[in-house]
Structure 1
């Protein structure tokens, strides 16, 4: 799976990493629903670190389409609220 972090680049992430990323995504979603800005910032940061850690940088010159697009570190809670679907940022 190719996951793009806006403003940063793409990462190749194995399907084995998705359960943990879904746990982190659930924390982002819960913080957004609660309107807890501090918990949101912590959870989003953890999710992005999780992608960076589990993934391998996708070649920058590649034109491959991303399977998922995540907001950048500095995204606001309101920006992410607009991006959330029924399955969070990472479906599954």
Structure 2
């Protein structure tokens, strides 16, 4: 099982790959909607990549309900236990 820090790096790296940004630009306080104007296709791409990377099923609602990246990481951490 990955630690929260390892999981955070996977999530931040995946988001930065999809959005075309640097990993350092994506913090736990980053709001994908407010800060990047992310659309549903980008969010689905992030979810699909995270599912492959973590071998975990992720509901789209889980990602859309997260206020920021940190909350998404917390959700995934709880699922990986």
TM-score, normalised on structure 1?
A: 0.37
Whichever structure has more strand as a proportion of its residues is 1
TM-score, normalised on structure 2?
A: 0.40
Higher-Rg member (1/2): 1
Whichever structure has more helix as a proportion of its residues is 2
